Each structure stands twice: as C-alpha cells, then as structure tokens.
Structure 1
C-alpha cells in the first residue's frame, strides 16, 4: 500500500491570507497586535502616495500607494524569519502566553498574512538587538497562479539579505532604529482615501482598550498621512486622521453618565460591583462569584440619557448609536465585530423587542467587557478567537458570560442591575424636552454646562428614591453577599437637603398662617402641604437627628392648623346662611321686576310729559323717514347715481328708524338700556317683540308663526338694532302682500343661531335669483325689491346685523312659504 500525504498548493496563501481576512481594518489591527506582542511601545501606521487619479481598473493592476507599519519592538533574527515568520501557522505565542510583562494578543500564526490582504508586495525590514539588519522581499502575486497545480507554497523562493542601516534609510526614507520591525507594503489592493483612513482610525479607537490595561508601559498607535494634512486643517478634531489614536470616550463619560462596573477577581472567587451616578458612588457590592469558568473579567456599562448622548456627540463628533454599543476586549485588544453598530451580539435589542419598555437596548447603553489573562490555546478550555477574526467560539465560557435568560450570565447579572436602577431609581432621567432639542442646545451653546440641564423631577426626589431601592437593585440573597457599602456621604447630603426643604415648607406655612386671613379651603391646602412634607420625611431612607426634630415641629403645626380650620369653618358656615337668606329676598324682588322686563310695556305708568315726548319722537321720526324717501325718489329717477350721497342719506334713514323704535319701546321697563348693547337671549327677545307687534302697529293684520324648540343664544347685542332689523323685514313682507310670516329659529351649534325668515307674499323678482351674485345685490344700498322703494331697508338690515356679529343672505322663493326666504346667522 502506497503512502500519500497532503500537498500545500500555492493558492493556500490566499485562503489563509486575503480571502480569510476580508476586512482591511482588521488586517491592520492584526499587524498592530504583532507590534504589541513584540514589546513595542508604539505602532506607527504610515500612508504614502495614496491619493491617486488612476481608474479603479488601472489601480487594481498596479499603483504606487504604500502602507508602512513600523514598531520599536524586539525585532527578528535570521533564524526567527526563516523558522518562525515563514513557518505558516506557527506561533510561539501558544507556548509563551506572556512576554514583556504583557498578555500576548495574537495566537494563530496567520496574522502575518494580513500583509497579503493589504497589498501585493511586502518588504520586511527588521533588526534584533546586536544582530544584523535584515531585509525580506515577498511578491504575493507569485502565489496567485491559479492554473499551476504542481506548484507548492514551499516552491516559491524569497530573497533574504543582510543590509546596512543606510540602505534601509534610503529605500524607506525613514529614520534609523536600533531594534524593531518595519513592514513596507506596496501596490495596495484597495484605494485608501480620506474617508477610508478615517474609518480605520475610528476602528482603531475602538480596538484600543481605554484603560490601557497593560502591566508594562503604555502602547500607542500613531497614524501618519502627510498627504492629507492640508485637507485636515478645516476638519473638526474628531475627523482628523494624523496623530496618536486614543480611546478617551469612556473616561470622559464617567462624570456625565450613570454607569455600573463589575469585576471578577483574578482568582475568580469574588465579584465587586460599583454603581455610580452623575459623579456620585451609589454603592459598592462584593459577592461570591457563581460563574466557575470566569475570572479576571471586568464589565463597564454606561446608560446615556438624552444629555449624555448630546455630550457624547459634542466630544466625539458622532452619535453614540453610530459609535456602537458593548465592545469585547480580550487581553487588551478588541474583538470585532462585537459592539459594532447593528451588531446585537448580546441580544439586548431582541430582548427589548420581546419584553417591555422597561428594558434597555443598544441605543441607550455603551460599554465594554474586558477579559484578561486568556490563554489563547486550542487545547485549553478558555475563550477562543476564531481564525478569521470574526469573533470568539460559542463555548461554555462564552455562555457563562452572555446568557440572557435565567439563570443569567455574568454580563446580564450586571446589566439588569443597571436596568433596574435606570427604570425604578432615576426613572430614565426623563426630560420635558425632546432628544433632538436637547442635542441642538448642547451643540449650539458654547457655554453649555450641566447646570442648564432640565429634568421632570428635582434632584432631591430622584436621589431619595435611588437610595431607597438599592436592595431591590442588587437583588441578591444574604448568603451571596460578602459586603455592601452604601455611600454614607450621599445619604447625609440628602438628609440635609430634605431637612432644609421641610424647614422652608414649615416656615412658609407658619408665615401664611400668621400674616393672612385664610379661608377654610386655603387652610385645608396648607394641611395637605404639611402632610406631603411629613410623608417625605417619614419615607426618608435612614433617619438623622435634624429629621426627628422637624417631625416634632410638624406635629405641633398640624394641631394649630386643625384648630384654625375649625374656627374658620364655623364663621364661614354662618356667612353662608346669611347669604342664602339675602339671596331669597333678592329672588322675590326679581319676580316682581320680571313683570315689567324686556318687551312688556305699560304706557299707563308714563307721565303726561313722557307720553308727549314719545308722540313727538314718533312724528319727528316719520317726517325724517318721509323726507329721505322723497329725496331717494328724486335721485333714483335721475340719469346718474351718487353713491356717496346715498350712503350719507342711508345713515340718516337708519338713525331715524332708531328714533322711531325708541318711541315704540320707551314705555317698557328699563327702556334706557335698550339704546346700548346688553347681554340677553336673542331668541326670547325676538319672540317677545313679535308677540306685542300688534300693539306697536295696531292696524297690522299680519299673522306671525314662531318655530323653535329649546333654541337660545345669549350674547351682548343692541336690542334697538335688532328692532330695526325685524321692522325692516316685516315692512318688506307687508309691501310684498304677505298675510303670514314664519320665523324658524335653530341652533346649528352652541355658539350659533340660525333664523329662517319667510313670508307668503309675491317673493322677489327673478333677476335677483339668477346666481349668488344676484342674490347679494339685493342688499346693496339703493337697490329696491318693491315699486317706489328706497333701497335702504335690506341694506339697513345687513348693517344692523353686522353690529351683532350676524349675516343675512337670500335663500330664494318657495323655500318654506311661497314668498321670499332669508337666512340670518348670528354668532
């Protein structure tokens, strides 16, 4: 039997290189990790000749663009290059685990193939301390010959040279270094414009742990892209690309947001949880760790209220929702894509959608989970990073960390405490303003500070509730808790504030009691205010000496208020009794007065002088009216119309009619008030006016029919003007030969009266019925509907109705009766 074995075709390079690592930003991150693992204090990413005018097709074929990654780490010897770097999948990190006092970031031995993802050519310049300067050149396209089935990876040779340092400086145009590695990647596979480099910077900001939780010196990532420096001058700080990449966001939020931090100790025995709010520590809890597979893990979660979101955008230039949510860091470096926008790896959005408005989602929180001391070994049970860098393996460790149903994993155990605090403690920090309005205020106001924030409740009420529900927030059994420390300073501060508030309320009540003549209702309100103050003190979390003293003062004041209430109530009851007696007498007087109200007349009560005055007013009014009619006849029979003169005469006619009406109603009680506007029921006035119309015109043989059912409209109007309106309409009906007039009154709405005034006369001429314009013409000054008429009557009706916010229009003939029908609307 023949023995066979696998062969390593040259296309394996692409499988573990550019095809495996499909994201340029992740490729750069892998190289940065290698610099970190090499003990370097920095990784410098340099872009050269990346601004191009080539077409996409030309660029893919060949370009001059370069990415240079340089570090000052330990460098590599010739042995390291041949036996380690060129040994596919070999990684001494699997055995070392830690070097340069750092937990190593990489582990798979394929990060070096990130160079293939970025560019077609690679030159490695490296130097180990006290060893020669080495140069290794690789052309990745040599491995991309699809049809060469016989060629294996190991069949492709590279040039490895020892070079003087001066050659390095000449070829790279970089400064000398004593130890470290430079990766010179050229003929790039993708176009790196400004937006792409900005995207890389944002990703690197997320990749770097804000705590710099490294046991040795700090590690900086620096981007250098000189081609874009001129463009950068007009950009905000958050959009610039040159300089040190820093993740400062979480530290800046410490005093702006509500957040919780939980830490599993390095030995995995305990969990310490600290909850902070607006710069104040609320509690510190130490408890036994129920997660046997988890140790040395820290969870930080920040709740962003509308103001915190606005601060976030002001500091970073981007919205928090665009930044991401909960990121995962292992051994100091972030594991993508966890926490990216739209990546709900913890199932928070799914949980919120299935559950309640009380749940927090990815839009309300940002944070990080930091897992340290992870042994990145395939053979050991621990968190395990997948080779294509797209996350970690969903094993038992991962489940204990992320389980989002009971019994909850470590993250949700912590997260749900914050969630209860937000919902039941601070009530979501609700504001009276919309989120968009808050963002605009914070971004536009250069002098904005936290003192300008507006919330629906005061800070004292909010913080009292916070302290009172700590046990509910923690939700732990006594045997699980090792220690619990509540911020005593905060409790004392709240007690002082509560005492000041209660004292001020007491002083205010005493002041009102001593300085005012109070009603029983006002005293009742003071008693209720005092009860509210008592409840606030009674429910105060923890008691202090000043609170106890205030309780006694409140009790004494309560007795005084109750005594004052009884005395005041007795006096008020007596006043009410006397008032009711007076009211009864007034009602009896009003009944007598009603006999002579509105339109009820009694000329027998007039003196002889008054009767003579009434007679003279009637004669004078009729003479004025007759004279005006004669004048109109002469003007209308002329060959022209003097409209302005007609208007003046119309006013004289209208006033004369008013004088005539005075003579008709002056015998009524309170007749003086009829001359001016007064408040009355329009419907009742019309009914009473029509009822006694035969008394005003004794020879009138017209029959009147009033139609209404519970109709009314009470308003302020001139009853004299209304009399003129009715008289003119009735006069027109008489001239049209009517024997019956019907007045139909209804309420289309509570504030509106509709009157249909109809008669059985001969109606109006057809020329006034052609269209709406013709119908309106009938109300114009000088237009008459009867032979020998003046054309003033209907115009006077319209003007009179205007004074009481009324309108009139002609409906037509044969609407209700055979004659004309007018519609009057009064509001």
Structure 2
C-alpha cells in the first residue's frame, strides 16, 4: 500500500545557505544593504562597535505576520512571488506609501539573503517596526551556533526567541529594521572598513546622475558608515574617501565625463533599436542608430565605457587617491545594483585581457577602461548565481549581452582610440583635443564616420560639424578622399547646405590642385637645370661649400657620436695602462682582443671623419634597402663582446624573422644603437634588451629596455628628454635628440613606456 512521505531538513542546512554559500564578508554586507533598499529605505547606517556590526535602515519594516510568514519562511521570497508590498493599500500604511514610489523590481529575490548575517557573526538580534499606524516593535534573537550542535536535529526544531519591545535604544528610530550582529567571525581593522566603503561606492550604479535618472539634491538612497574607533584617524585624512566615517559616495565620474574619451551604447526599451554615441573629452564626435537584428530579446540595456589616456589616469589618481587599475574596470549593474565580480581588480569576467593578449598594441584591456553595463531586467531573463559572487548565469541572453558589448560598443571605441588617438603620442598626455586639431587627423575621423554611414543598416543622427569643418582648413592640403567622405555624410544626413559648401570647395580645390601641379613641374625643370650646371663645375673646397648648407644640428650630432666612440677607446686603453703600470702580465691573445676593439671603435670615428669632410661622400652616405631587423641584430652581435667586458649584457628578442624591408643609411642605424647603449651604461644598467614586434607588413615596433636607474623622478614631462640640450647628467643632451631626428627621417617615432617600474624602455615605431 502506497503512502506519502516528506523530506526531513537537517539543521546543517543553515551552513549551506549561510556562511558556506556567502563566503565573503563584503558580499554579506551588500546583501543586507540590498534588502534595505528593497524595503524602500532612504538611508542605511552601518555601525561598527566592539565585536559588533549594526545595520539600521528606515524602510517599511516588518510586523509579526511578516516575521512568521516571510522572514522565518526559509527560501520563500515575497519579492519573487509578488507578495512583498501586499497590504500597503490599506489606510494604515497610507502616510508611508505616499512618500515612496512603487518598485518595478528588487535587488534581491532568492529568499536566502537574510542568512548573510550568519557569515558575519554567530549571534543576531533583529529589531523591526512596520511603517504603519499602531505598529509594534518586534525582536528576534538568533544564535546561529544552535543550528550546528547536532546535524540530525531538524531545522524546524531549532527555536528562535521572539519578543515585543516597548522601546529601543536607538534614538530617532521610527520604522524600519535593525540588525545587531555580534560575536563576529572575522576582524574588521581600519583597512578592511575602508575597503568595504570603497566597494560600497560601486554597489549602486554611480553613473545614474549622468544618465539623467537622479535629480541633483534629491535624497534617494544613502549609505552611512559609523565607527567611533576610527574618528581620531579620520581627522588626519585630507581626502574624504579615505575616512571611514561618513556617507558612501562616488564623485569621480563627473570629472571623467569631461576629460576622457567615452562611448555610450543603448538598446531602447522596446529592444528594437541600438543607439551609439562617441564623445571625446567633452566634444561629441558622432551619434548613430541601427536596428537590433541580432538580439531581439534584449532591451533597456546601456553600455558606457570611458577610455583613460595618461592624462586621465593621472587626474583619476589625484581625485580618487588610487590608481584607476586598482579602482576596477567594467562593472555590471542589474536593476541598479552591482553584480559581482564584474569590474573587480584583476578580474576579467568579460575576457578583455585574454583578448588583448592576441594583439597587444591594437586592443583595449582592463587597464585602459572604466565603465559599466546597466541592465533593467523587468522580465528576469538575467539571473545571478546564488553565491552572489559568481556573476550572471551563462544563458543565451547573457552571451548576446556580451556580444553587443563587443560589437556595438567596445570595438567602435577601439576603432577611434587605436587608429586615431594612439597614432599621436602627445595626445596621451592631453585633456583636450588640441593635438587632434589638424587636417590629417580630421581626415581620419571623417573616414571613420563615413565608413559607418556607408552601412545601409545605420542612420547617422549627428556628427560634430564644428570640429570636423575641414572646408575651412587649407584646401591646398586636402585630398580627394576628404570631399568624397563629406559628400557621403551630407547625403546620409540630408544636409543640403553642406552639399552646397562641398561643391563650392571642390571647385576651389581643383584650382589649387592645377596651380600646384604647374608649380611643381616648373620647380622640377628649374632643379634639373641647376643640377646640370653644378655637375659641370669643379668640386673645389667641397667641405666649405657643403657645411654652409648642411643641417647644423646634424653636425653637432656627429661630434656627440664621435665622443661616445672615443670614450669607449679611452676605457680600453686605461685598462691596458693600469695593467702595464702595475707590472701585470698581458697575454698576447688578450692584447690582440683589446687592440681589435680599439680598431673597431676607431674605424667608426674614421667613417665619421670621411663623412664630415665629404671625402668619398657617396659611399659613406649610400642608402641601402634591406631587412632592418637583420641589420640591427647583426650589428648588436658584432659589438656585444665590447660591451660585455664593460659589464653590459645585450640581448635581441622577438620577431627576428620579421623581414621588414626598409631603405636606410647604415651609419645612422649604428648611431641610434650606440646612443642607447651609451645612455644605459651611464645609468648603471647591467642588461639591455632589443625586442622586435612586427605590427603589420608596413609597421615595425622596436622596444629598447634596460635595468638601470631609469628616468629621473624630477622630470615632470618625460617627452622633454628628446629635446635638444636636455640632460640630467654631465652629457651634452644631444644623443636622444639626434636619435629622434634620425627616426623622424625614417618615417618613425620614439616614446617612453611610463609604466615601467625599474629601468627605462624606449618604444620605437617605424613605418614603410
């Protein structure tokens, strides 16, 4: 005969849904704060006392029935079942109900968040009072250890003490909930409290103010931290953020809004359209709209990314007192509350850094970005893991969310940052667009916008007509591509006035072009005539004639280089002299090696002498076209023994078979290498590394890194070290100036890696 049976629930279940599920103290506090938010609280106070944490909110509170039928009902969620606000329609709740707005969704809805108290301490005293007329103050006292005595004891048989109170010790308490958690499971030193405060800053979406959701001055939801033991130390802190006591607030994003490059991508409430807007340091660049064809289930989602250049990172640290990389990266908010671990330092939940490793210099990673993904999820299609620190459950909707993040937001930001901003090294240090305000860069931006406008699925809503008004620039420097792109944009935006301006400018440009072609043709003819006359003349006193026209800076650079080679010869000769003077025996082989090194350096000086005197000029300054990587590798190999005896080890790494064919003067490449090695030796380096990376078939990157003393900390603007005459040693300040000069002639550039902690690293980029 069949019979009905029931599950028995062990008291050990408390650990499973308590401290074993919520494994992080901060997550436990977050869950309790979110419960207060769901209870319509305007303010939450987190109070630290000796071996006690008290969390007080001014929300709607609970009555006796709520405690029995909701709070003590394990895994039951009135929020999920739609019963949370039932009863608020009665007159008893009228005054409080009139002060609040009806919630569309809740921060927590699993029915187990209350067990976060078990994570924090062994004992809980819950005091609560309903926001209604004639309500009473109820109290529950729970010792979580009672559930751990005997796992065979059933959960329902563990008693929880209930009392009705006449009064409470907390002044000003009218309604809401008080959680007194004692016999804490872990210590809470000052550093941990500050870390909690900094994490709470990011618990509630800090970007809402800039999305127009909150009104300045309106009190919406405030979190306060109180710790009497930290008041004295707080008095010594200048930065409010580094004080334990006080309101939790996030104030950095207003600054970022004005001084960074940002992109906003939004899926509208119906899920039909996606809008994307790119803004660069306060200047709108473009705004587009397209149909949401790939993810029709997604709606009411916003992506907001900030790219931080060097200037923005410095500004961030000044305001926040912490490096941007330590603050976090791309956070995710669901219904206004943060989902962990998205955005945490060293967390790569969206795979940004794994992706960046594939193309280090072409993609953005967590160190470059700060931002958020905000989901308004009324349909509950996104679900958090029960542990609350495992992010979102991986569903098809989640993967669509990430796909749009990459395709419609991040990649468009990268297209602008990498192809435009990163091409101008100086722009990394600017808080405005002054470096981009030139015809070449504006042409690139126009090309980017034109390519977007070319798509039949994209509507160009707006672009910056003032910043991109190339027609008012020098038409003689423009290209036909500029007019083609402007014509496309004018057609896409139905801008008739712009079309008329373009037609007028095109005609003027054609006149400039024809006049320029005629001038060039005449100059070529004149040049050919002069060269023919010069060829017929005798080359008397060639040096005196040539030095009058030779670039004076180049001659100074040569003298500086001769000094480097002479200094190396001097070192070798002094070592021999000391051995002879001290009566030390010198082996024939050792003497032969030293003399060979001296001859090697002396030959370099003779080459410069021949070059400077113009004797055999063509042979010494002859351009060669070959693999630049192989040339540098072989040259370093030839000189590495000379530097090894001086205590400097040379290494060549990276794409050694890059086969980067480039036209260059061998002597100038030797000058570049020798200057780097001379500087490294002066700054106490023991090792110099040359790292080659072929970015593309037309671009080569060379990184030269040493382990010396590095850049002088007193240098405020590192770019100054490439200026003529700049030095922090007894040198002439010409070496790096000469290197920069040669590289620019090679269609190259040089910069510093400012993030290197020890030594120095030069970054060279050479284009075909």
Q: Shared fold by TM > 0.5?
A: yes
Q: How does 1:655-694 map to 2 (within 5 A)?
A: none
Distance 2:48 2:443 in 1: 56
Q: Is 1:94 equivalent to 2:80 in the alignment?
A: yes
Q: Is 1:76 equivalent to 2:62 in the alignment?
A: yes
Per-residue deviation, residues 435-483 of structure 1 (Å, max 9, x unmatched): xxx6xxxxxxxxxx836x996x7655333311221244x48841x2355
Query: Which residue is equivalent to 1:712?
Result: none
Change (3 A) 1:221 1:747: closer
Query: Which residue is equivalent to 2:341?
Result: 337
TM-superposed CA distance for 1:289, in Å, is 0.9
Q: Is 1:180 equivalent to 2:161 in the alignment?
A: no
Instruction: Select the residue among 239, 259, 272 that pairs with 2:262.
Output: 259
Query: Which residue is equivalent to 1:85?
Result: 71
TM-superposed CA distance for 1:195, in Å, is 0.6
Query: Which residue is equivalent to 1:423?
Result: 418
Instruction: Select the residue among 176, 193, 199 that pairs with 1:197.
Output: 193
Q: What is the TM-score when the length of structure 1 is the normalising length? A: 0.56
Aligned residues of 2:450 and 2:485 also touching (Cα < 8 A): no
Per-residue deviation, residues 632-664 of structure 1 (Å, max 9, x unmatched): xxxxxxxxxxxxxxxxxxxxxxxxxxxxxxxxx
Distance 2:514 2:141 in 1: 90
Instruction: Select the residue among 466, 479, 490 that pairs with 2:467.
Output: 490
Q: Is 1:469 equivalent to 2:431 in the alignment?
A: no
Query: Which residue is equivalent to 1:238?
Result: 241
Change (3 A) 1:549 1:412: closer
Aligned residues of 1:115 and 1:122 also touching (Cα < 8 A): yes
Q: How does 1:40-59 map to 2 (within 5 A)?
A: 40-49=41-50
Distance 1:581 1:325 in 2: 67
TM-superposed CA distance for 1:225, in Å, is 1.7
Query: Which residue is equivalent to 2:161?
Result: 159
Distance 1:339 1:321 in 2: 10
Distance 1:87 1:168 in 2: 25
Distance 2:460 2:478 in 1: 34
Q: Give the RMSD, CA atoms, in angstroms.
A: 3.3
Any unmatched runs of 5+ in structure 1?
50-64, 377-381, 403-407, 439-448, 503-529, 585-745, 754-827
Name the SS of the counterpart of 1:750 in structure 2.
Answer: helix
Distance 1:250 1:42 in 2: 22
Q: Is 1:32 equivalent to 2:39 in the alignment?
A: no
Aligned residues of 2:453 and 2:460 also touching (Cα < 8 A): no
Aligned residues of 2:363 and 2:414 also touching (Cα < 8 A): yes
Aligned residues of 2:356 and 2:363 also touching (Cα < 8 A): yes
Change (3 A) 1:583 1:411: closer
Aligned residues of 2:252 and 2:320 also touching (Cα < 8 A): yes
Query: Which residue is equivalent to 1:66?
Result: 52
Query: Which residue is equivalent to 1:135?
Result: 138
Distance 1:286 1:179 in 2: 48
Change (3 A) 1:22 1:564: closer
Query: Which residue is equivalent to 2:328?
Result: 324
TM-superposed CA distance for 1:138, in Å, is 2.3
Per-residue deviation, residues 288-310 of structure 1 (Å, max 9, x unmatched): 11202211111111222222222
Query: Which residue is equivalent to 1:248?
Result: 251
Distance 1:352 1:70 in 2: 44
Distance 2:231 2:484 in 1: 61
Query: Which residue is equivalent to 2:372?
Result: 368
Change (3 A) 1:432 1:94: closer
Per-residue deviation, residues 8-52 of structure 1 (Å, max 9, x unmatched): 222211211122101111111111111111111121211123xxx
Change (3 A) 1:432 1:476: closer
Query: Which residue is equivalent to 1:206?
Result: 202
TM-superposed CA distance for 1:199, in Å, is 1.0
Query: Which residue is equivalent to 1:659?
Result: none
Q: Is 1:272 equivalent to 2:275 in the alignment?
A: yes
Query: Which residue is equivalent to 2:582?
Result: none
Q: Is 1:354 equivalent to 2:362 in the alignment?
A: no
Per-residue deviation, residues 352-393 of structure 1 (Å, max 9, x unmatched): 2234631222221121110003344xxxxx111121112221
Change (3 A) 1:243 1:582: closer
Instruction: Select the residue among 458, 461, 469 that pairs with 1:481.
Output: 458
Change (3 A) 1:537 1:415: closer
Per-residue deviation, residues 274-328 of structure 1 (Å, max 9, x unmatched): 1111211111111111202211111111222222222222221221221222111
Name the SS of the counterpart of 1:580 in structure 2.
Answer: coil
TM-superposed CA distance for 1:553, in Å, is 5.2
Query: Which residue is equivalent to 1:398?
Result: 398
Instruction: Select the residue among 112, 115, 125 that pairs with 2:114.
Output: 112
Instruction: Select the residue among 603, 606, 609 that pairs with 1:750.
Output: 603
Change (3 A) 1:412 1:240: farther
Aligned residues of 2:141 and 2:162 also touching (Cα < 8 A): no
TM-superposed CA distance for 1:98, in Å, is 8.8
Distance 1:427 1:414 in 2: 18
Aligned residues of 2:64 and 2:138 also touching (Cα < 8 A): no
Change (3 A) 1:69 1:116: same
Q: What is the TM-score when the length of structure 2 is the normalising length? A: 0.61
Matched residues, number: 509
Distance 2:281 2:258 in 1: 5
Change (3 A) 1:470 1:476: same
Query: Which residue is equivalent to 1:794?
Result: none
Name the SS of the counterpart of 2:259 in structure 1.
Answer: coil
Change (3 A) 1:495 1:35: farther
Distance 2:299 2:47 in 1: 38
Change (3 A) 1:230 1:483: same
Query: Which residue is equivalent to 2:307?
Result: 303
Query: Which residue is equivalent to 2:431?
Result: 450
Per-residue deviation, residues 713-762 of structure 1 (Å, max 9, x unmatched): xxxxxxxxxxxxxxxxxxxxxxxxxxxxxxxxx97743799xxxxxxxxx
Name the SS of the counterpart of 2:162 in structure 1.
Answer: strand
Per-residue deviation, residues 575-629 of structure 1 (Å, max 9, x unmatched): 664x339999xxxxxxxxxxxxxxxxxxxxxxxxxxxxxxxxxxxxxxxxxxxxx
Change (3 A) 1:160 1:207: same
Per-residue deviation, residues 496-525 of structure 1 (Å, max 9, x unmatched): 3x24xx6xxxxxxxxxxxxxxxxxxxxxxx
Aligned residues of 1:18 and 1:117 also touching (Cα < 8 A): yes
Distance 1:117 1:751 in 2: 73
Distance 1:98 1:195 in 2: 37
